[in-house]
């Protein structure tokens, strides 16, 4: 029996799209505690939760278990509500997002204390296997199902609304990219939280819109990643970040055979990509995108300098960035990235960001390059170079840096930098710290950097 869609009564009113890819109700949607959760039972869980949700316009989805998040995401959408995805799950960040959406509530599978106002705990997802649903709901294509917030790495977090059509269209490019290396059917283990747009695309949309099963956990330590991968069958795809990837390579833990590794949220150093491919015997693909655009390009770092655009994506370089047209966008979006186009516009090379480029005393540099040179100093385990907000007495916005280097002094790091960069770009303020304030996806919120510097 194939899964059907309850869309007939609404098709005359407006376009609708299925919430779950049509197909065999026995297909595996997720792996939870080593047990396969099949499509029909997943749909029954969605209906179970949707029936208990209050009337509202939006809900903060705080589920940490990836399967619970997947069920809650669909149940919230099923009720015509939007999933609110704050830049972090810190109580203040959650309260700020809820304040921006009056009448919203929060939903999670854990008993939180303290809990956000209006917090509701997800019921136990335990449906009688003989009473499962084969009815896949369809929802209006233009319904806003998610509102994601930028990480704040370049300033205050900004809201970005996504309709179900937006997310369905963005998933097509990702599925095509992965099918080329892993096939149409595979299983995902992700180290990134499902609340982040990268996590949404790679661990929520893929099992909803393709023949993909997702592991319910979010492994953190290398041994946990290996255990999670061992709980799902081949072919396996590991979705991760440069921070987690560096830890995996350094730890040396053997991983079950992989069909592919995905990386995003921060630039991936070529030497790390090379080490990861050698260690794990799988192609490492880097994904390019943003909260505003979702993913729209990818590359294999060990082979390509240029990025390949997904089908239907067009870039238009501008003096202050790049205008992007893509199937998942309702209107073109301008990002701060500076690119040069190649291969008749099907590929591009990233030249930097307009917020990343520096000009001091008539000389130019990029914050990304300065950070790479800081990280190249032997003994520097982590670090970041950034520009201060306020200009000095000469009207120049000076450079600052934070570094994790237990065996070095600030003077030793500055001496090494003097040999690698123009003196005008030396950090005027350099501070050694125990750890950088990275969020769950490895990004560095600007406010946290400034707080740590001060």
Express each pLDDT in 137-147 by its tens digit: 889 999 999 99
4-304: what fold? Rossmann fold (3.40.50)
**What are all long-range contacts of 387-390, with beta carbons under 8 Å and residues at least 24 apart?**
387/358, 388/429, 389/450
Q: How confident is the model at residue 180 (pLDDT cuts 50, 70, 90)?
A: very high
Mean pLDDT computed over 308-323 = 92
Express each pLDDT in 8-59 by its tens digit: 333 334 699 888 886 678 899 999 988 999 999 999 999 999 999 999 999 9
Q: Distance (Å, rounded) from C-alpha 123 to C-alpha 142?
A: 29
Query: What distance lies between CA 280 and its chain's CA centroid?
Result: 22
β pairing state of 58-61 and 105-108: parallel
Question: Which secondary structure element, helix H or strand E, spans residue 204, and what is its range?
Answer: none
Mean pLDDT computed over 203-213 = 93
Task: Copy the structure tokens of residue 193.
Answer: 């939280």
- The yes-or-no verdict on residue 359 having pLDDT over 70 is no
Mean pLDDT computed over 198-209 = 93
> What's the pLDDT score for residue 397?
77
137, exposed or middle or buried, with CB in 10 Å at 0-12, 13-18, 19+?
buried
357-453: what fold? GMP Synthetase; Chain A, domain 3 (3.30.300)
Give yes or no for a contact between 299 and 268, defined as CB atoms under 8 angstroms apart: no
> What's the pLDDT score for residue 354?
63
pTM: 0.82
Q: Distance (Å, rounded) from C-alpha 7 to C-alpha 99?
A: 34
CA nearest neighbour of 354 among 372, 371, 366, 343: 366
- The yes-or-no verdict on residue 378 having pLDDT over 60 is yes
Query: What distance lies between CA 385 and its chain's CA centroid?
Result: 23
* Ranges of each domain in the chain: 4-304, 357-453
Q: How confident is the model at residue 422 (pLDDT cuts 50, 70, 90)?
A: confident
Express each pLDDT in 250-278 by its tens digit: 999 999 999 999 999 888 889 999 999 99
Q: How crowded is residue 281: how many other Cβ atoms within 10 Å of its Cβ? A: 10
> What's the pLDDT score for residue 12?
34
Mean pLDDT computed over 83-110 = 89
CA distances from 232 to 86, 216, 223 (A): 30, 10, 15
């Amino acid at each position: 029996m194939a899964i059907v869609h309850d869309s007939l009564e609404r098709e005359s009113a407006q376009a609708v799209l299925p919430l779950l890819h049509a197909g065999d109700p026995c297909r595996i949607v997720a792996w939870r505690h080593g047990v396969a959760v099949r499509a029909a039972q997943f749909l029954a869980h969605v209906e179970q939760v949707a029936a208990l949700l209050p009337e509202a316009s939006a809900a903060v989805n705080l589920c940490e278990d990836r399967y619970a998040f997947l069920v809650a995401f669909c149940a919230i959408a099923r009720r015509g509500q939007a999933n609110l995805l704050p830049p972090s799950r810190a109580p203040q960040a959650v309260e700020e997002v809820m304040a921006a959406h009056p009448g919203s509530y929060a939903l999670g599978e854990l008993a939180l204390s303290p809990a956000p106002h209006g917090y509701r705990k997800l019921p136990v997802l335990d449906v009688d296997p003989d009473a499962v649903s084969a009815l896949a709901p369809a929802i209006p294509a233009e319904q806003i199902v998610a509102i994601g917030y930028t990480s704040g790495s370049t300033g205050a977090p900004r809201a970005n609304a996504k309709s179900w059509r937006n997310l369905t269209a963005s998933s097509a490019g990702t599925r095509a990219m992965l099918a080329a290396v892993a096939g149409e059917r595979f299983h995902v283990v992700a180290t990134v939280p499902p609340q982040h747009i990268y996590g949404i695309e790679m661990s929520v949309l893929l099992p909803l819109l393709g023949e993909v099963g997702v592991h319910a956990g979010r492994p953190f330590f290398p041994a946990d990643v290996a255990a999670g991968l061992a709980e799902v069958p081949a072919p396996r795809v590991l979705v991760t970040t440069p921070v987690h990837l560096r830890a995996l390579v350094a730890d040396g833990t053997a991983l079950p055979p992989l069909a592919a590794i995905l990386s995003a949220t921060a630039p991936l150093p070529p030497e790390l990509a090379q080490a990861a491919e050698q260690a794990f015997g799988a192609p490492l693909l880097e994904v390019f995108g943003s909260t505003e655009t979702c993913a729209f390009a990818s590359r294999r770092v060990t082979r390509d300098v240029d990025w390949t655009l997904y089908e239907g994506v067009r870039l238009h370089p501008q003096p202050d960035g790049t205008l992007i047209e893509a199937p998942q966008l309702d209107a073109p979006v301008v990002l701060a990235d500076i690119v040069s186009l190649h291969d008749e516009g099907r590929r591009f090379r990233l030249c930097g960001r307009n917020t990343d480029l520096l000009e001091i005393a008539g000389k130019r540099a990029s914050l990304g390059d300065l950070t790479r040179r800081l990280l190249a100093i032997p003994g520097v385990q982590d670090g970041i170079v950034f520009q201060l907000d306020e200009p000095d007495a000469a009207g120049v916005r000076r450079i600052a840096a934070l570094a994790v280097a237990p065996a070095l002094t600030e003077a030793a790091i500055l001496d090494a930098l003097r040999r690698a960069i123009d003196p005008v770009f030396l950090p005027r303020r350099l501070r050694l710290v125990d750890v950088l304030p990275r969020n769950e996806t490895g990004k560095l919120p600007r406010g946290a950097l400034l707080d740590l510097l001060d």
